[in-house]
Structure 1
Amino acid sequence: MDLFSRSWTALRAAVAGLRDEDFGQPSGCSGWLVQDLVCHLVIDAQDVLITLVTPAEGEPTVDAVTYWSVGDQASAGDDPLDALIVRLAAAYQEPGLLKFHLDDVGSAAGRAAELADRGARVSTQDQVLTVGDYLSAYVLEWTLHHLDLIAQLPHVAGPPAEGLARSRAMLEAIAGAPFPASLADSDALLIGTGRRAPAGDEESELGRLVDKLPLVLG
């Protein structure tokens, strides 16, 4: 099973195992509860399905790393889409309905990814890239959101080690520099994307790299 499938399967399994009360806990995404994050994952799954059936011609314009743009600052929560997701998540009312929708759409996205030709070219966000690079880019998406999911839920299993390692490598490529070897993969991802601030000793180990952080991915 490739890293896209392994990471996505693990994330969906983690959501499937959540207790009802877990949905009202804060997630690692600023301003979002767990229920909001899960609703966002439904939208992500829809995006995967849409992209995989949007063929493109011409040479790729981005790859798995350059697919990601780096913004100046994280969303303040007033983005129209962010606000829509919060309202949509609340409309589910019962966590079981949100679980069901993610399982339904998420399973379809997973099957579509398994069946897709990795060498084919697709279009998304006005960019062209191979299916392989697109799915590889989403390993970072799934891994970061898996870390967001468990931020306040220590009883929930985290992302696969292989996905963490691959995501770290991609984030280092985006940053143009490696993170200190003393940092665990999960810590490198959390600190690198601004999900938590580095401690004093971590900041000193980051050296000049700290000036580039956080990397706000979009």
Structure 2
Amino acid sequence: MDLFSRAWNALLKAVADLTDEDFAKPSGCSGWLVRDLVCHLVIDAQDVLITLVTPAETEPTRDSVTYWEVSDKPPTGEDPLDALIVRLASAYQEPGLLKFHLDDVGSAAGRAAELADPGMRVGTRDVVLTAGDYLSAYVLEWTLHHFDLIAHLPGKAEPPAEAVAKTRTIIEQIAGMKFPESFSDKDVLLVGTGRRVATEAEQAELGELAAKLPLIIG
């Protein structure tokens, strides 16, 4: 729960520190500008709020790792929701308005997470899991998107090291294999999810794991 808050607060601060010019730069998400990614984070924050007030009475069907669906096909931008986010982002004619909206909804999502009972069962995306597992799963979302946000913005603060380490653990559990120890936590995140192409030397080190990559997590 605490790690969720640290990862989320770091991401909110990273957005707050953006200049107006930064919003027009490409992000680490293919086909999305920084402004599109920030708009996606608004939707994410809304999802957190909705999920934490959607109690479930049945037993959990997922945990912090199995919550994520894994595909071998990267997004093309043709998904209706992805296309909608781009249109919504363009409607914010001033970056300051988008910043304000994320700060408003994002702060509320952060408070809701801090107040949530970790053992409470919640429902989302037709699955049931504990609030603690749900928020733990979102450490991956915040951490990967933090790297996406600053992918083309050198000098910006990176996500908390402990959140990057936690995300590495989740990715390794999803893959069912550990990455070589020579890979930094950041390298595991970027290479493992296809955000960076592995070098020839890294490919050799990955061995049979290379055939499983990239993991398109969503």
Alignment partner, residue 53 of structure 2: 53
In the TM superposition, residue 196 of structure 1 has moved relative to its aligned partner by 1.3
Partner of 1:84: 84
Q: Partner residue of 2:183?
A: 183
Aligned residue for 2:38? Answer: 38
What is the alpha-carbon distance in structure 1 between the residues aligned to residue 89 and residue 77 of structure 2? 15
Distance in 1 between the 2:23 and 2:155 partners?
A: 13
Sequence identity percentage? 73
Counterpart code for 1:94: E
Matched, 1:11 2:3: no
- Summarize deviations over 1:23-52 as a string: whole Å, max 9, x none: 011100000000000000000000000000
- 2:55 and 2:191 map into 1 onto residues whose CA distance is 36
Match of 1:133 in 2: 133
Q: Look up the equivalent residue of 1:25 and give its one-letter code.
A: K
| 2:153 maps to 1:156 | no
Deviation of residue 58 (structure 1)? 1.3
Q: Which moved more, 1:130-139 or 1:182-191?
A: 182-191
Distance in structure 1 (CA, Å) of the matches to 2:184 and 2:29: 20
Q: Output the amino acid matched with 1:164.
A: V
1:187 deviates by 1.1
1:154 and 1:205 mapped to 2: Cα distance? 28
| Mean CA deviation greater in 157-166 or 66-75 | 66-75
What is the CA–CA distance in structure 2 between the aligned matches of 1:3 and 1:206, rounded to whole Å?
A: 29
User: How far is 1:69 from its partner?
Assistant: 1.1
Structure 1: tracts of 5 or more residues without a match: none
Shift, 1:155, TM fit: 2.0
Give the TM-score taking structure 1 as reference length. Answer: 0.99
What residue in structure 2 maps to residue 145 of structure 1?
145
Give the Cα–Cα distance (whole angstroms) in 2 for the partners of residues 147 and 180 of structure 1: 21
**Matches of 2:21 and 2:187, distance apart in 1:** 26
Structure 2 unaligned blocks of 5 or more: none
1:210 aligns with 210
Instruction: Measure, in 2, the Cα distance between the counterparts of 1:14 and 1:3.
Output: 16
Q: State the number of aligned residues.
A: 218
Q: How far apart are residue 72 of structure 1 and its match?
A: 2.3
Distance in 1, Cα, partners of 2:183 & 2:21: 32
Deviations 1:132-188 (A, max 9, x none): 000000000000000100100112101000000000000000000011111111111
Q: Distance in 2 between matches of 1:155 and 1:90?
A: 26
Query: Following the alignment from structure 1 to structure 2, what is the Cα–Cα distance between the partners of residues 33 and 157?
Result: 19
The amino acid across from 1:216 in the alignment is I
Q: Which residue of 1 aligns with 2:120?
A: 120
Q: Distance in 2 between matches of 1:73 and 1:58?
A: 32
